[in-house]
Structure 1
């Protein structure tokens, strides 16, 4: 199997700007949909749509858009692709010291400084905050450089003050700091993404990265804080949750389509990971859709 190398994204703000703002539409796909990282922090607002979220060692599913803040060197996949139905994606990339080494040390910046520290673990924002702040993020693309900077500071203030958020990467593992580790983990992730519907043995995945099984198991747990089997099962559950929300397939069909060859085992793992049975998850999702309509 040929694995893509991890991509170190080199970010260059426009002339006269200290940070970068870009917007992708559904007809213009984010070219960095692969596993990549960069020294800049990244704030992403996905306006509408649903799909899988893969940031660091976090795997999740988002619906009705997403608003995420990620710290430096936290590896992630691009969010916009043909499968999610996203209407647009706005991305802001900035260094932690983009306004100078001392600016965010000012007492007035205390809340934002704490936000930046928490972003090293990855943060997803929900509820009213997601749409309200997301609209302001999209509006930045139309402002001149001065007003865009003031607008960004206002956005960061709102993000810092809202309580409607969750931490995604609880242990705060920024795996991309070590390029060799990132190379290996990228190969592992790519293999899982392409083969999760089939049984993946420890022998074959260890061989994929030229390691012995014991060495691979120790290595993977050290980097991801999970066993390989647990990680693959979580990936399968995330895929199943997407199918439960978006398809009319039966739960049994979804179980096998997601790589589980034992239906009762699927039910057990799904409930452990989400706190709900597959049927309860689907019913709850349908209620949300009805309320939105």
Structure 2
């Protein structure tokens, strides 16, 4: 698993204080599980898939805006079928060092007044609809600006992303490096094998533990059983397929690892509060 977590250096841009990119690339080119010493503000324009951030595995889709803290392992895994007609996905991303914030606070009283009493988040955050709308607009405007215009826009962007209360948890850092590697190995295994039955013996063996120790470890780290985790991941994937594909409910049931349509419908309604067909109608 060591080789799966890649220290990643953002491209150095001469005479710039932060990194901004409007990226359209093929899904297989996107960086694998990695970390870097910078805040990352990421806006998905086209594409969907699954994201690892710290200890958390979540689906993502177009329109999502996420803030990932420095040194947190993360991976945006785009579904190949979510690419556009040119085979590309599309996102906007701003990455900036924490020292940029502290230097600006020292130099500019106007920014200091907005940020000086702030406690910076240690968790990855996914912004809600209203904050996402504001941030998306600001990032899109930055895309059409020259360097000085982007710097001015950055001064306006920082208070928005750090003062917003309109967000949910998208990932927690894991303090113990061994646990980081182990939990991300578990997430990667689930992402690769969720279509099939994953036994406790298989996943325990994958991470070098016996079954009993694995169950205790996983419950301690995730506050749920491994079976609950896999079920939730399958349902999250099913939700994305219901929103982004024309597959029948029965097809989706088997595509995400359930072997019985009535059972799938029952579990889906129990955890989502509605049937798969109702969910699709509400999200079309």
Common fold by TM > 0.5: yes
Corresponding position of 1:211: 209
Corresponding position of 2:64: 66
Counterpart check, 1:136 vs 2:132: no
The answer on whether the counterparts of 2:44 and 2:63 sit within 8 Å (CA) in structure 1 is yes
CA RMSD in angstroms comes to 3.1
Classify the secondary structure of the residue corresponding to 1:97. helix
Corresponding position of 2:120: 117
The answer on whether the counterparts of 2:37 and 2:97 sit within 8 Å (CA) in structure 1 is yes
Please give the alpha-carbon distance, in whole angstroms, between the structure 1 residues aligned to 2:45 and 2:190: 28
Corresponding position of 1:239: 237
Question: Greater share of strand residues, 1 or 2?
Answer: 2
Matches within 5 A, 1:265-284: 265-284=263-282
Corresponding position of 1:10: 9
Aligned in 2, Cα 1:269/1:48: closer, same or farther, shift over 3 Å? same
User: Which one is further off, 246-255 or 96-105?
Assistant: 96-105
Structure 2 unaligned runs (5+)?
none
Please give the alpha-carbon distance, in whole angstroms, between the structure 1 residues aligned to 2:243 and 2:146: 40
TM-score computed with the length of structure 1 as normaliser = 0.80
Matches within 5 A, 1:1-293: 5-27=4-26, 30-32=29-31, 34-78=32-76, 80=78, 82-85=80-83, 88-100=90-102, 103=105, 108-109=111-112, 112=115, 117-118=120-121, 120-160=122-162, 162=164, 165-169=166-170, 173-175=172-174, 177-286=175-284
Classify the secondary structure of the residue corresponding to 1:223. helix
The answer on whether the counterparts of 2:42 and 2:92 sit within 8 Å (CA) in structure 1 is yes
Number of equivalenced pairs: 279
Shift of 1:281: 0.5
Shift of 1:229: 1.3
Classify the secondary structure of the residue corresponding to 1:98. helix
Please give the alpha-carbon distance, in whole angstroms, between the structure 2 residues aligned to 1:141 and 1:99: 21
Structure 1 unaligned runs (5+)?
287-293
Aligned in 2, Cα 1:151/1:13: closer, same or farther, shift over 3 Å? farther
